[in-house]
Amino acid sequence: MTLFKAPLACGFLMISLTACTQDNTSKTTSNIDIAEGERTTVSQDSRTYQKPGASVRFSHDFDGRLEPGQPETISLVFTEAYQAGSLSLSFTADDGLEYSLIEAGVFDLQSASRHGLDIELSALNPGRYYLRIFAEVILPQGRPDRRVFGLVAEVGNEESKTELDSQTMEKDFRGGDLITMPAEETLKK
């Protein structure tokens, strides 16, 4: 039995030693096909990792707060690394959150790598709402790449939020906060 354990332990030790590296933030570069005949070098670092999908990044100037009934214009910026194709943006919002685009959300990727878009958001009732942004890149050979972004809008000031919270909050036996919610339960035998 001990003859079997020694080679097994040595094997695990060799595997664990080969998995170790001296620098955990080492960069690797690789060539990736972007379109027919085009190649680009991509640097992949653990701090700048991007999920698979369209190579589009998203930023905005929205602080996350809206006042009920008062529209606010938000500037969205989409940055991409393609040399050709088109970027199409579409939006969906939770019930109660209204949005309107100030210009069309379709961009030619040969013109620039940064694309700005203004959108107007508003909601009548206090609460938390989500705006979903769907980005679709159509490459010259017709292959689509997609990415989804989200934007959270808190509607209402802190006073209305605490009033709403105090109506739904209860205390447990230790004095901690509990949020009560309606529930329906079905029992099966």
Task: Enumerate domains of the chain plus CATH numbers.
Answer: 52-169 (2.60.40.10)
Q: What is the pLDDT of residue 154?
A: 93
Least confident of 13-22, 52-61, 96-105, 107-116: 13-22
Q: Is the pLDDT of residue 65 over 60?
A: yes
Q: Is the pLDDT of residue 35 over 50?
A: no
As a whole number, mean pLDDT of residues 71-76 equals: 92
Q: Measured in whole angstroms, how far is the alpha carbon of residue 64 from the centre of its chain?
A: 15
Please state, in angstroms and rounded to a whole number, the distance separating the CA atoms of residues 87 and 109: 7
As a whole number, mean pLDDT of residues 89-109 equals: 88
Return the closest-CA partner of residue 76 out of 131, 13, 141: 131
As a whole number, mean pLDDT of residues 119-125 equals: 92
Q: What is the pLDDT of residue 129?
A: 94
CA torsion, ordered 156, 157, 163, 169, to nearest 10 deg? 80
Tokens 């030693």 -> residue: 17
Please state, in angstroms and rounded to a whole number, the distance separating the CA atoms of residues 177 and 168: 10
Q: What is the pLDDT of residue 4?
A: 57
Look over the chain and give the mean of its residue pLDDT values, rounded to a whole number. 75
Per the CB < 8 A criterion, the answer to whether 77 and 60 are in contact is: yes
As a whole number, mean pLDDT of residues 21-29 equals: 43
Pairing of strands 28-35, 106-108: unpaired
Return the closest-CA partner of residue 154 out of 101, 96, 100, 102: 96
Q: What global pTM score does this model have?
A: 0.57
Q: What is the pLDDT of residue 167?
A: 55
Per the CB < 8 A criterion, the answer to whether 87 and 137 are in contact is: yes
Q: Is the pLDDT of residue 159 over 70?
A: no
What would the two tokens of residue 101 be? 């685009």
pLDDT band per the 50, 70, 90 thresholds, residue 70: very high
